[in-house]
């Protein structure tokens, strides 16, 4: 792949929580602006790739491990996350990474993992100290809808809290007899827009070492396809209302450098539909000789979009048919 790609990826969150902070509320900046981290966007993409049978290194995986308690001297089995070293050994069928002294083989393995090939890696395990700057870089996705509000729901558990202690020997606390309460925090509606860039030249140094063929059109196609459906497919309890609703891909000359395109996106409600305005028509027109193609995908059932960008093609984000 020779050309650079710039773009924006949009996620809608309705009565769901796309990216929570440690308090459970949608993540915000110090000034109160709602945003989603790049990790929140990458995770469903990685999960989709993993389900498709691709090798994914940087994703949580669990194992059962025997643990000996010192006091009771009793063997127990506990469920714990794998370390990065253990995850590497699992997916690349390596017995012990520390025994592998072939740095080229380690690099070959890392580049064969689809998440590393796209997003890069920092790998300091088993005597290795490898840093790979990813060809695909995703920024922070800011909510562009001004009327977003958090909603707090009380949830009643079907079970009581067995850890509650009795007040006296024969008297039990009323709380100990009751079912436990929990909370679920969601956004009533939010629309996140993530900027991204793809620089296929990022791996030129590794190509010279013959540990990768570089970032290819095939790699780009896999990222492009997953980036437009991964959020919709990732239907966990908190993410069931989160869907891909917008994507823009601008392919340019390899030496053209564009700014963060998400700053030109405006979202507003109009006649019960979302309206997306892309305010970079002048920028694209001024650079049209160096722009190879512009593809814009959106949800035409819930969203309208102003089609005023010269030579841009517009597609249904679900059917991929031109509209």
Instruction: Give the predicted TM-score (pTM) of the model.
Output: 0.90
**Residue 181 pLDDT grade (very low, low, confident, very high; cuts 50, 70, 90):** confident
Token pair in block for residue 193? 């827009």
Q: Across-strand partners of 297?
A: 247, 315
pLDDT digits (tens, 9 = 90+) for 251-295: 999 999 999 999 999 999 998 899 999 999 999 999 999 999 999
Confidence (pLDDT) at 274:
95
Instruction: Decide if 146 contacts 189 (C-beta within 8 A).
Output: no
pLDDT digits (tens, 9 = 90+) for 127-163: 899 999 999 999 999 999 999 999 998 888 787 777 6
The CA distance from 48 to 166, in Å, is 48
CA distances to 1, 14, 304 from 272, rounded to whole Å, are 41, 14, 11
Q: Per mean pLDDT, which range of 72-76, 210-214, 233-237 is the poorest? A: 72-76
Q: Does residue 171 register a pLDDT over 60?
A: no
Of 54, 50, 33, 42, residue with least CA distance to 11: 42
Which positions ≥6 away from 298 have C-beta within 8 Å?
A: 10, 245, 246, 247, 276, 305, 314, 315, 316, 317
Instruction: Tell me phi and psi for residue 230, to 5 degrees.
Output: -60, -45
Confidence (pLDDT) at 271:
85
Confidence (pLDDT) at 75:
65
Residue range 87-116: average pLDDT?
A: 94
The CA distance from 271 to 274, in Å, is 8
């Amino acid at each position: 792949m020779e050309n650079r790609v710039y773009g924006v990826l949009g996620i809608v969150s309705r009565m769901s929580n796309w990216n929570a902070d440690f308090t459970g509320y949608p993540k915000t900046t110090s000034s109160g602006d709602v945003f989603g981290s790049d990790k929140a966007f990458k995770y469903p993409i990685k999960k989709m790739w993993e389900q498709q049978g691709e090798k994914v290194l940087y994703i949580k995986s669990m194992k059962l491990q025997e643990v000996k308690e010192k006091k009771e001297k009793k063997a127990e089995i506990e469920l714990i996350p794998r370390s990065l070293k253990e995850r590497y050994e699992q997916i690349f069928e390596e017995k012990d990474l520390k025994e592998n002294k072939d740095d080229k083989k380690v690099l070959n393995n890392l580049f064969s993992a689809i998440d590393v090939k796209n997003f890069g890696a920092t790998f300091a395990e088993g005597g290795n100290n490898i840093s790979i700057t990813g060809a695909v870089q995703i920024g922070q996705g800011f909510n562009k809808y001004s009327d977003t509000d958090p909603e707090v729901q009380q949830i009643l558990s079907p079970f009581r809290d067995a850890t509650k202690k009795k007040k006296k020997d024969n008297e039990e606390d009323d709380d100990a007899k009751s079912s436990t309460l929990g909370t679920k925090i969601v956004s009533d509606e939010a629309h996140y827009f993530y900027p991204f860039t793809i620089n296929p030249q990022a791996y030129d140094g590794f190509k010279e070492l013959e540990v990768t063929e570089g970032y290819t059109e095939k790699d780009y196609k896999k990222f492009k396809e997953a980036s437009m459906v991964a959020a919709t497919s990732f239907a966990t309890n908190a993410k069931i209302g989160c869907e891909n609703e917008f994507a823009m891909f601008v392919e340019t000359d390899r030496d053209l450098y564009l700014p963060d395109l998400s700053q030109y996106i405006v979202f507003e409600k109009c006649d019960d539909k979302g309206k997306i305005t892309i305010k970079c028509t002048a920028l694209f027109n001024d650079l049209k000789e160096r722009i190879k193609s512009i593809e814009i995908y959106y949800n035409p059932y819930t969203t309208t979009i102003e089609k005023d960008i010269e030579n841009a093609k517009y597609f249904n984000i679900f059917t991929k048919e031109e509209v």
